[in-house]
Amino acid sequence: MAYPIPAKCPTCEGKLNVTELRCNNCQTKISGDFYLDELFQLNYEQQQFLKIFIKTRGNIKNMEKELEMSYPTVRNKLNELIKSLGYEDDFAEEEQQEKRREILDLLEAGEIEAVEAAQRLKEI
């Protein structure tokens, strides 16, 4: 029975290396020190989330339905995944701009007052 590759050492949670590969057909074994790509280092939940992201072609609305989660929860999980893959810095500026737009949209819709909008913008 085959098991998924563990993301971390079960004892110390350190990074694992692959040291042997084996062909199930002819039993050839290859020994060495092989690295695991970032995708293999994601935990099970992150891997499943990524599969649904690909299945829904990144459509957050469809992900909400598939996962039965709210938009903010899906976005948070996506941000965690981005961070786990080491891409957090690439999107930090874009995320700040999106937060600013959301605050200004709330202000324009009359859902928050100007003072609150100014405070939220300062926090970004």
pTM: 0.58
Q: How high is the pLDDT of residue 59?
A: 94
pLDDT, tens digit, for every residue of 36-86? 788 888 888 999 999 999 999 999 999 999 999 998 899 889 989 998 888
Residues 47 and 83 grouped into a single domain: yes
Provide, rounded to the nearest whole percent, the portion of the chain with pLDDT above 90. Answer: 54
Q: Choose among 95, 87, 55, 44: nearest CA to 63.
A: 55
Residues 83 and 95 grouped into a single domain: no
> Number of structural domains, the chain?
3
Residues 7 and 27 grouped into a single domain: yes
Residues 80 and 56 grouped into a single domain: yes
Residues 30 and 10 grouped into a single domain: yes
Residues 107 and 74 grouped into a single domain: no
Residues 1 and 12 grouped into a single domain: yes
* Residue numbers of the domain that contains 94: 89-123
* Chain Cα centroid distance, residue 46: 6
Residues 94 and 80 grouped into a single domain: no
